[in-house]
Amino acid sequence: MNTTTVVDRFLEYVKFDTQSDELTNLTPSTPGQMIFAQHLEKELRAMNLSDIHLDDNGYLMARLPSNSQKQLPTVGFIAHLDTSPDMSGHNVNPRIVKNYNGGDIALNAEQNIILSPTDFPELNHYKGQDLIVTDGNTLLGADDKAGVAEIITAIAYLQQHPEIEHGDIAIAFNPDEEIGQGAHHFDVNRFGADWAYTMDGGEIGELEFENFNAAVAKVTFNGRNVHPGYAYHKMINSIRIANQFVIMLPRWETPEHTEGYEGFYHLVAFEGSVEKTVLTYIIRDHDRNIFNRRKKELEHLARKINTEFPGVCEIEIKDQYYNMREKIEPVMHIIDIAQEAMRDSGVEPKVVPIRGGTDGAQLSFKGLPCPNIFAGGLNFHGRYEFVPIQSMEKAVEVIVNIARRVAKA
User: Which domain range does residue 382 map to?
Assistant: 6-210+324-408
Does residue 403 sit within a domain? Answer: yes
Query: Does residue 330 sit in the same domain as residue 317?
Result: no
Q: How far apart are CA 306 and CA 304, in angstroms?
A: 5
The pLDDT score that the predictor gives to residue 357 is 82
| Collapsed DSSP state (helix, strand, coil) of residue 290 | helix
Q: How far apart are CA 35 and CA 11, in angstroms?
A: 16
Spatial CA neighbour of 180 closest among 355, 310, 293, 20: 20
Does residue 262 sit within a domain? Answer: yes
What is the end-to-end Cα distance of the chain in Å, rounded?
A: 29
pLDDT single digits (tens) 129-151: 999 999 999 999 999 999 999 99
Q: Which helix (H) or strand (E) holds 152?
A: helix 142-160
Query: Does residue 308 sit in the same domain as residue 364?
Result: no
Per the structure, the count of domains in the chain is 2
Q: Indicate the residue among 321, 340, 375 that finishes a domain.
A: 321
Spatial CA neighbour of 394 closest among 6, 72, 76: 6
pLDDT single digits (tens) 172-224: 999 999 998 999 999 999 999 999 999 999 999 999 999 999 999 999 999 99
- CA atoms 87, 89, 95, 101: torsion sign: positive
Q: How far is CA 258 from the centre of its chain?
A: 20
| Collapsed DSSP state (helix, strand, coil) of residue 225 | coil
User: What is the rounded average pLDDT for all residues in the chain?
Assistant: 96
> How far is the CA of 332 from the CAs of 27, 162, 201, 264, in angstroms?
33, 29, 19, 28
Kindly indicate the confidence band of residue 4, based on its pLDDT and cuts at 50, 70 and 90.
confident
The pLDDT score that the predictor gives to residue 356 is 84
Q: What per-residue string of b and e applies to 301-318 under the rule 16 or more CB within 10 Å gives b?
A: bbeebeeebeebbebebe
Kindly indicate the confidence band of residue 23, based on its pLDDT and cuts at 50, 70 and 90.
very high
In the chain, what percentage of residues exceed pLDDT 90? 97
Does residue 1 sit within a domain? Answer: no
pLDDT single digits (tens) 372-409: 999 999 999 999 999 999 999 999 999 999 999 999 97
Q: How far is CA 213 from the centre of its chain?
A: 14
Query: Does residue 146 sit in the same domain as residue 221?
Result: no
Query: Does residue 351 sit in the same domain as residue 227?
Result: no
Does residue 106 sit within a domain? Answer: yes
CATH number at residue 334: 3.40.630.10
- Which of the residues 17, 43, 82, 200 is marked catalytic? 82
| Collapsed DSSP state (helix, strand, coil) of residue 285 | strand
Q: How far apart are CA 317 and CA 287, in angstroms?
A: 18
CB-hemisphere CA count at 13 Å for 344? 17
Does residue 122 sit within a domain? Answer: yes
Query: Does residue 252 sit in the same domain as residue 297?
Result: yes
The pLDDT score that the predictor gives to residue 3 is 64
CATH number at residue 301: 3.30.70.360
Does residue 163 sit within a domain? Answer: yes
Name the E strands within 322-403. Answer: 350-351, 372-374, 386-388
Active site residue 119: no
Query: Does residue 91 sit in the same domain as residue 187?
Result: yes
Q: Which amino acid is at 397?
A: E
Active site residue 82: yes
- Angle at the Cα of 281 (from 277 to 287), degrees rounded to 5? 155
Under 8 Å between Cβ of 375 and 200:
yes
Spatial CA neighbour of 183 closest among 67, 396, 357, 1: 357
- Which of the residues 177, 206, 210, 385 is marked catalytic? 177
- Is 5 a residue whose pLDDT tops 50? yes
- Pairing of the two strands 169-174 and 75-80: parallel
Under 8 Å between Cβ of 402 and 75:
yes
As a whole number, mean pLDDT of residues 255-284 equals 96
Does residue 274 sit within a domain? Answer: yes
Kindly indicate the confidence band of residue 64, based on its pLDDT and cuts at 50, 70 and 90.
very high
Query: Does residue 230 sit in the same domain as residue 195?
Result: no
The pLDDT score that the predictor gives to residue 358 is 86
Q: Indicate the residue among 321, 340, 358 that finishes a domain.
A: 321
- Omega prior to 28 cis, within 30 of 0: yes
As a whole number, mean pLDDT of residues 313-321 equals 96
pLDDT single digits (tens) 279-288: 999 999 999 9
- Angle at the Cα of 9 (from 127 to 38), degrees rounded to 5? 145
Kindly indicate the confidence band of residue 236, based on its pLDDT and cuts at 50, 70 and 90.
very high
Q: Indicate the residue among 273, 294, 321 that finishes a domain.
A: 321
Query: Does residue 137 sit in the same domain as residue 203?
Result: yes
The pLDDT score that the predictor gives to residue 1 is 43
* Inter-axis angle of helices 142-160 and 389-408, nearest 10: 50
Query: Does residue 273 sit in the same domain as residue 204?
Result: no
**Could you tell me the maximum CA-CA distance found in the chain, to the nearest angstrom?**
86
Query: Does residue 300 sit in the same domain as residue 354?
Result: no
Does residue 22 sit within a domain? Answer: yes
Sheet holding 264-272, edge to edge: 264-272, 276-285, 213-222, 313-321
Query: Does residue 97 sit in the same domain as residue 238?
Result: no
The pLDDT score that the predictor gives to residue 288 is 96
Query: Does residue 381 sit in the same domain as residue 264?
Result: no
Under 8 Å between Cβ of 37 and 175:
yes
Spatial CA neighbour of 83 closest among 92, 75, 74: 92
Q: What per-residue string of b and e applies to 362-387 under the rule 16 or more CB within 10 Å gives b?
A: bbbbeebbbbbbbbbbbbbeebbbbb
As a residue count, the chain comes to 409
- Is 2 a residue whose pLDDT tops 70? no
